[in-house]
């Protein structure tokens, strides 16, 4: 009887251990993917794969794990400020989502942050970044290969074939473990939709109707809008790239991640306080990735820990996200996937809207005193001096905003 009891207890321990192991990350496998490819179609809004539709992206949804809305930090573009003593300190030359995504943290004003992007984790492995726009130079240091291909200015922003063809050559010649391919065309076309007759270099004329009108003005979803045309072109280039990977025998040994660097407003471009600017669809597919899974949303802070995990390198020093293990093993842990960017963006947008609707509240002494405690996106470079933990920062802003609402309701 005692033997049976001990056997039963051991069985429980083994079963419990196995259950716990499924909730932990295992080493990817003995033969991890040979390369991870991050393919970015600039400013891809939520719903684009279904609404346009984008046939290649749609197919990838069935072959991998799809997140309908990946939350990124507000797509703001603070003015560069190199003075570390200023509250508006911002040492980056590109919009917020790019350094936040590649460092894995919103505390992007920290000392040494520029030496700790995902590419810096690859000490003995090759990395590459190819793009047709000069806006991303700030996040390029650390790549073994960085090719900025827009040598002829504005027209090259729409030549998305350049980074794709360049990536093929880089993979053939150098075979990097990690490569970022960034297509600028869709985002630039979104700017044309928003600017219409005031578009730079009269770019709108290329897309005008026969009568000279702009039926797509401030509507990216209008059939044949500049955005839709460029997004379809980017999707076709993605298809061509995948076909190349397959015909050269590289597809089965790769993991491909496709996303926007941020989202886009229905009217075009990406104003930071428009909710759709800070969400983008996301799909991961390939070697070792589960197939046919769809999730409602995710958090972009999880991107670089996941890339690091796939490539068996350390995640960036300041990264705070989790590995998206539901794509490889087990289920999505909603408690660990706290989606801090979703909460942070939400309270930042609500705060901005409150001040837009009732600017007179700033004349109220109690409101102004409380408002001074709220951390706005304009001071993101200074956030690390106030908090070292994102959860505490989000909770702080939520509590301050609740107080502001209460004061507003009384006035």
Q: What is the pLDDT of residue 81?
A: 86
Q: What is the pLDDT of residue 15?
A: 38
Q: What is the pLDDT of residue 330?
A: 73
Q: What is the pLDDT of residue 7?
A: 39
Q: Output phi, psi for 250, to 5 deg.
A: -105, -15
SS3 389: coil
Q: What is the pLDDT of residue 112?
A: 94
Looking only at the bridges linking them, the beta strands covering 293-299 and 145-148 are: unpaired
SS3 63: helix
Q: Could you give the angle at which helices 390-409 and 340-357 cross, rounded to 10 degrees?
A: 30
Q: Cα 118–317–315 angle (5° rounding)?
A: 50
Q: What is the pLDDT of residue 32?
A: 86
As given in the structure block, the two tokens for residue 207 are 């897309």
Closest C-alpha to 188, from 257, 270, 259? 270
DSSP letter for 65, please: E
- Which residues have a Cβ under 8 Å from the Cβ of 120 and sit 6 or more positions away? 142, 316
How far does Cα 343 stand from its chain's mean position?
16
Across-strand partners of 145? 128
- Cβ pair 194, 270 in contact under 8 A: no
Q: Output phi, psi for 294, to 5 deg.
A: -125, 130
Q: What is the 3-state secondary structure (H, E, C) of 1-58?
A: CHHHHHHHHHHHHHHHHHHHHHCCCCCCCCCCCCEEEEEEECCCCCCHHHHCCCHHHH
- Cβ pair 324, 306 in contact under 8 A: yes
- Separation of alpha carbons 338 and 152, rounded Å: 43
Across-strand partners of 38? 180, 257
Which H or E element spans position 349? helix 340-357
- Separation of alpha carbons 140 and 146, rounded Å: 7
- Which residues have a Cβ under 8 Å from the Cβ of 352 and sit 6 or more positions away? 273
> Which CA distances in Å does 142 have to 21, 30, 40, 292?
35, 27, 19, 34
Distance linking the first and last C-alpha atoms of the chain: 75
Number of residues assigned to the chain: 411
Looking only at the bridges linking them, the beta strands covering 293-299 and 178-183 are: unpaired
- Separation of alpha carbons 246 and 87, rounded Å: 50
Structure pTM?
0.91
Given a cut of 50, the residues of the chain with pLDDT beneath it are: 1-24
Q: What is the pLDDT of residue 78?
A: 87
Closest C-alpha to 50, from 281, 346, 271, 285? 281
Q: Cα 205–206–209 angle (5° rounding)?
A: 75
- Separation of alpha carbons 326 and 344, rounded Å: 23
Q: What is the pLDDT of residues 195-204, one digit of tens each?
A: 999 999 999 9
* Token pair 């899974």 in the structure block, residue: 293
Q: What is the pLDDT of residue 29?
A: 56
């Amino acid at each position: 009887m005692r033997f049976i009891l001990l056997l039963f207890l051991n069985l429980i321990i083994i079963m419990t251990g196995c259950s716990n192991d499924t909730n932990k990350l295992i080493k990817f496998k003995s033969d991890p993917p040979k390369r991870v490819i991050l393919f970015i179609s600039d400013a891809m809004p939520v719903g684009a794969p279904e609404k346009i539709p984008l046939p290649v992206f749609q197919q990838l949804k069935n072959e991998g794990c799809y997140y309908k809305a990946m939350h990124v930090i507000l797509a703001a573009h603070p003015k560069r400020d190199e003075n570390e003593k200023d509250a508006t300190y911002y040492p980056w030359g590109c919009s917020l989502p790019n350094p936040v995504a590649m460092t894995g943290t919103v505390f992007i004003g920290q000392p040494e942050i520029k030496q700790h992007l995902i590419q810096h984790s690859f000490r003995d492995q090759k990395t590459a970044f190819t793009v047709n726009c000069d806006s991303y130079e700030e996040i390029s240091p650390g790549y073994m290969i960085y090719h900025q291909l827009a040598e002829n200015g504005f027209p090259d922003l729409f030549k998305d074939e350049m980074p794709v063809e360049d990536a093929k050559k880089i993979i053939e010649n150098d075979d990097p473990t990690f490569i970022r391919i960034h297509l600028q065309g869709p985002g630039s076309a979104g700017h044309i939709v928003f600017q219409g007759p005031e578009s730079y270099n009269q770019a709108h004329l290329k897309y005008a109707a026969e009568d000279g009108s702009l039926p797509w003005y401030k509507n990216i979803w209008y059939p044949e809008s500049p955005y839709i045309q460029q997004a379809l072109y980017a999707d076709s280039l993605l298809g061509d790239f995948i076909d190349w990977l397959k015909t050269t025998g590289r597809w089965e040994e790769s993991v491909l991640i496709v996303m926007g660097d941020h989202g886009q407003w229905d009217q075009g471009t990406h104003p930071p306080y428009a909710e759709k600017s800070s969400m983008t669809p996301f799909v991961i597919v390939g070697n070792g990735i589960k197939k046919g899974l769809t999730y409602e949303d995710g958090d972009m802070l999880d991107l670089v820990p996941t890339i690091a995990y796939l490539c068996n390198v350390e995640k960036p020093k300041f990264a705070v996200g989790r590995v998206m293990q539901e794509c490889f093993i087990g289920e999505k842990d909603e408690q660990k996937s706290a989606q801090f960017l979703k909460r942070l963006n939400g309270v930042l947008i609500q705060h901005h809207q409150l001040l837009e609707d009732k600017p007179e509240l700033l004349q109220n002494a109690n409101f102004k005193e409380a408002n001074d405690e709220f951390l706005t996106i304009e001071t993101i470079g200074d956030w690390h001096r106030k908090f070292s933990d994102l959860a505490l920062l989000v909770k702080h802003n939520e509590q301050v905003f609740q107080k502001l609402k209460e004061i507003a309701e009384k006035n």
